[in-house]
Chain A
């Protein structure tokens, strides 16, 4: 197992070889949607969180990490959950650190603190998680991205924090 973040890049040179090893896997888009502006002050805004960390409530159907083309589903993670209520199913990043403190990859307790302290107006009832190893960018955009965006909107989020794993 790869060492954790005790020092340096985990796999030196990896990023230089991504295109060689996975040609065509990088998503490029010619059309962009501008970021929406906040409609109200942060302290009055309801925050959601979207992560590719593969975090999910314990006991729910694990993300499909063995499928060669990926898993295009997402999980709802109750924003009030404790780290002990959650687990990680993901092969493609080192999870040792996250198992010691989930907040390093899925900062649920930090976001709960921001809500308690009034930095943000509140949290959506659910946060969202999926896995980032998906080899079909068109399917990703058509299904996962659209469904996830709708789910976030349905939670009446004013803003969303997006975090890759």
Chain B
């Protein structure tokens, strides 16, 4: 999907096109794989927190409170790929 296609979807409120693109992006062109990858990232994040390890909430709050929306959105994508890599099950052909 080209950028113009995605922008048209935003204008039309076509969320299905937008989330489909995210699935294709994180699934390397395979929408079903993308669904599994999104699930995998959330499962990894949940698993890491189950035992209540100490977290640097000051860092998190400072980041959320001081960084612009674009940087935070990029961080969201970065965290997705980071977490799936940390899970040990890497479906992508190349490297981050």
* A94→B93 contact, CB < 8 A: yes
- Closest A residue, CB atoms, query B77: A66
Complex contacts, B90 vs chain A, CB 8 Å: 1
Instruction: Tell me if B4 and A24 are in contact (CB < 8 A).
Output: yes
Q: Is the CB of B92 within 8 A of A1?
A: yes
A12 in the interface (beta carbon within 8 A): no
For residues 2 through 27 of chain B, which have their beta carbon under 8 Å from a beta carbon of chain A? 2-6, 21-22, 24-25
* Interface residue A29 (Cβ < 8 Å from any Cβ of B): no
Chain A residues near B78: list those with CB within 8 A. Answer: 66
Interface residue B50 (Cβ < 8 Å from any Cβ of A): no
A1-B90, A67-B74 known; A136+B96 contact, CB < 8 A: no
A14 lies within 8 A of B91 (CB): no
Partner of B93, one of A21, A23, A68, A91: A91
State whether A23 and B1 are in contact (beta carbons under 8 Å apart), knowing that A66-B80, A68-B21 are contacts in the complex.
yes
Nearest chain A CB to B57 CB, angstrom units: 24
Interface size class for chain A? 20 to 34
Task: Type the 1/0 row for B65-95, where 1 means its CB is closer than 8 Å to any CB of A.
Answer: 0000000001001101100000000111111
Whole-angstrom CA separation of A137 from B5 in the bound complex:
12
Assess whether B39 is interfacial by the CB under 8 Å rule: no
- Could you say which of A23, A54, A91 has the most chain B C-beta atoms within 10 Å of its C-beta? A91
Q: Mark A34-66, 1 if CB is under 8 A from B, else 0.
A: 000000000000000000001000000010111
27 contacts between A and B (CB under 8 A): A1-B90, A1-B91, A1-B92, A14-B29, A18-B29, A21-B1, A22-B2, A22-B24, A23-B5, A24-B1, A64-B74, A65-B81, A66-B77, A66-B81, A67-B74, A68-B22, A88-B94, A89-B96, A91-B94, A91-B96, A95-B94, A95-B95, A135-B1, A135-B2, A135-B3, A135-B6, A138-B3
Q: A65-B94, A139-B3 are in contact. List 17 more A-B contacts (CB 8 A).
A: A17-B29, A22-B2, A22-B24, A25-B1, A65-B95, A65-B96, A66-B77, A88-B94, A89-B95, A91-B96, A92-B92, A92-B93, A93-B93, A95-B93, A95-B95, A135-B1, A135-B6
